[in-house]
A = this chain, B = another copy of it.
Amino acid sequence: MNAFNFLTTDRPMGKTMVLDKGLGLNEVTDLIAVAGAHISFVKFGWGTSAVSDRNLIQQKVAAYNAAGITTYPGGTLLEVAVLQGKYAEYLNEARAIGFTGIEVSDGSTVIDAVTRGELIKQARDAGFFVISEVGKKNPDLDHELTPTERLAMIQADLDHGAHYVILEAREAGKNIGIYDANGQIIDDELKVLAQAGVEHLIIEAPLKAQQVALVLKYGPAVNLGNIATEDAISVATIRRGLRGDTVGKV
């Protein structure tokens, strides 16, 4: 039971994906105890899971899984594996470590549409929860993608079996995807992407103003991603009208 529970009501809330960029076990324990109930996915950011001790990564993954959270390594690590022709080993190692999800992306490399579809299908066939990501890490390359092209990628990914599609915004959330150089939402861009069905999307929203804007626009059921671990609780309050920006508005 939560403290002050007579002030809140139970309502369906969107998924929250948190970005773990290298927490230790004490921090993971804290995060789960404080905010675990509000977290659906933990992404082990980009290649971070490949530079720490394997036992430690296993223990972290096990702790998150035990709390009912889906865990997956960042798409950048998958891209490195694909680049090296080691996708089968990648899936095997991910499973051996205990990851329950796989992210398929081409943010840092070039992967053709057919291969992309295959990667998604193979990960699903291997029993993973599959999340794909649309967008380029390099802003110049990212700007070349039109909203229509992004929408087509989203729909293709969903057709190939992706459970959710992430809209890329990186850790910083500026000058990329649906955000302008100040991190503000480009409405015309988002409007096109939303045609895929907002419920299928996880919108990366690392900045508070973005989280607030998306909750006010789509309601608390919107799925938000790349939430910093220390902001997981804040996002839970924004969704529930318990932070100044959304009091009386959700």
| A interface residue numbers (CB < 8 A to B) | 1-8, 21-27, 29-31, 33-35, 37-38, 45-54, 56-58, 73, 76-77, 79-81, 83-84, 86, 89-90, 93, 97, 107-109, 137-138, 170-172, 208, 230-234, 236-237, 240-245, 247-248
A21 and B80 within 8 A (CB): no
B25 and A247 within 8 A (CB): no
Inside 8 A of A231's CB, which chain B residues have their CB? 21
A242 and B52 within 8 A (CB): no
Give min CB distance, A24 to chain B, whole Å: 2
B241 and A80 within 8 A (CB): yes
**Given A2-B51, A38-B51, A80-B241, 10 other A-B contacts at CB below 8 A?**
A6-B93, A7-B47, A7-B50, A46-B243, A50-B242, A51-B237, A83-B247, A108-B244, A171-B208, A172-B208
Contacts A22-B233, A29-B26 given: A137-B244 contact, CB under 8 Å?
A: yes
Inside 8 A of A248's CB, which chain B residues have their CB? 83, 108-109
25 A–B contacts from the bound complex (CB under 8 Å): A1-B53, A4-B90, A5-B50, A7-B50, A7-B84, A7-B86, A7-B90, A21-B233, A23-B30, A24-B30, A33-B53, A34-B56, A35-B51, A46-B237, A47-B243, A48-B233, A48-B237, A51-B236, A52-B233, A80-B242, A83-B247, A83-B248, A137-B244, A137-B245, A171-B208
